[in-house]
Amino acid sequence: MGTRSATLCRARAAGRFLLVAVALLLVLPLSARAFNPAYQSAPGSCAQNTESVARAVGDLHANGVLGVYARTLGVQASDRSLVRAVRRVLVIGVVRRSAVTANHGCDGHGGVFSVGGRTLYAGETVGVKMPARLQARACAGPAPGCVAVAIVAHVVFPTNCWNLNSGGVAVLVYVHRQKPKQRKPKRPDPAASVAFSCSAGGVVVSLSNGRSATESASFTVNGIAYGPLVPGASKKVVIAIASGTTDRVTVSSGGRALIDDRAFTNTCTTPPVTAPSASAAVSCSAGAVVVTLSNGASATEAASFTVNGAPYGPVAPGGSQTASVPVAPGATVSVTVISGDEELIADQPFVNTCTATPAATATLACTTLFGGGTVSVALSNASTAELPASFVVTATGNQSGGFGPTTYGPLAPGADQTVSIPVDTSGNDIAVSVTSGGAFLLSTTFPGGCPSMISL
């Protein structure tokens, strides 16, 4: 058997071995020469009998068949890295169920040929390619921390010969046990409060889920489901109660009672009605968000409001009132308007994009001969501006004490103004500057001023 195997793998390796092989075949009895494809571990086979992947791959490489074997495994690598690439993907597995495969031999010159069927028995060890999804977890099993995983391999290498065997083979390979992912526990943070409201005609139930919650919360109010409410959200529910009658309120969340069967009686004789509403917009002229608070004409009771916590009203049925929330140009302010138990505007942001468009020019006019003159500074705010503009005018060198700084305006959009600055006869340079809102609009110098041309 071993001699026949040696003949399969080395028959063409060198001419001088051919005569020895033929002599042995003639001397040995037929039973010893019979080829058994299930066992090839004699010296001279394609690989020695070993469970060492490194040793087997090295022997296959020496026999010149590693490139062929690598291609059957789907491994693409250059000759320099071929051994390393094959060693990285091969592991030792255990045949799970007996199976018949197509066995192959090698000729010693890199050629591989079919030699018939071979039975792989359950429990035999084979070299097998570890699936890519499991390669990072591969371990030498069985061992502590390793678990067996069943795969189906179509190319295997029995460890008693490391010949190529093809076919569907169920193999057990070993991988490190996966650590279970730690999941943060999800929890809601439900809360509820109740209060009777004559204007609502019953009990107002306020439901909320805390901002620190990590899960939505669902509620049951008198057997009716509400929600779920995401973390930080709230909702109001009204349980109507007829005048002069009593009803009970129960609120629960996740099986826990938040309000436990509390009784409420409607003692309101004539339930009043309000019809509150609110609207808001940025006013450039006011420099604020102007909030209009209204009570509907169909209301039977005055409505009261809070704007960002400040009280307004009461507003009679059909009436209205305004409130201002200051906001500087370029700034943002949030507005919340509440009337009774109703949130009319919920933390809505408003941005003040209003701007002024100031401009300034300066001209020098000198009196002839006698010297002196006037610097005329023209100030203006564009007609397209949304805010009034103020100006600061300064001049130096024109008088012993200079001029300004002097503030002018505010000039409404589309308005203008001219400032006249007297100039003496000294002939000094005159420096003029104009700022608006801290920004320079003009900074200019008139060299030599307006000297006198007549000497007295």
Model confidence at 12, in pLDDT bands (50, 70, 90)?
A: very low
Point out the least confidently predicted range of 154-158, 221-225, 327-331, 389-393. Answer: 327-331
Q: Are residues 205 and 97 in the same domain?
A: no
Give the model's pLDDT for residue 399: 61
Tell whether 451 is covered by a domain. no
Total tally of structural domains belonging to the chain: 4
Residue 204 is predicted with a pLDDT of 94
| Model pLDDT for residues 413-429, shown as the tens digit of each residue | 999 999 999 888 888 88
Which is more confident, 135 or 41?
135
CA–CA gap between residue 146 and residue 455 (Å, rounded): 113
Whether residues 35 and 113 share a domain: the answer is yes
Q: Are residue 250 and residue 289 in the same domain, yes or no? A: no
The whole-number average pLDDT for the span 170-181 is 87
Is the pLDDT higher at 383 or at 32?
383
pLDDT tens string 197-220:
888 889 999 999 999 999 999 999
Specify if 454 maps to a domain: no
Cα-Cα-Cα-Cα torsion 226, 231, 232, 238, nearest 10 degrees, comes to: 10
CA end-to-end span of the chain: 140
Q: Is residue 455 part of a domain?
A: no
Domain at 411, CATH number: 2.60.40.2560
Region 153-162 average pLDDT: 91
Q: What pLDDT does 32 receive?
A: 35
One-letter identity of residue 338: I
151 in the same domain as 10:
yes
CA dist 280 and 348 (Å) reads: 9
Residues in the chain: 456
> Of the residues 324, 351, 378, which one is the last residue of a structural domain?
351
Range of the domain at 216: 190-265
- Provide the residue type at 8 as one letter: L
The DSSP string of 269-327 is SS-----EEEEEEEETTTTEEEEEEEE-TT-SS-EEEEETTEEEEEE-TT-EEEEEEE-
- Residues 212/174, Cβ–Cβ less than 8 Å: no
Q: Is 107 in the same domain as 251?
A: no
Does residue 295 sit in the same domain as residue 347? yes
Measured distance CA(258)–CA(354) in Å, rounded: 49
Cα–Cα distance list, 413 to 319, 385, 389 (Å): 33, 5, 8
426 and 365 part of one domain: yes
pLDDT at 372: 81
In a shared domain, residues 14 and 157: yes
Last residue of a domain, one of 309, 330, 351: 351
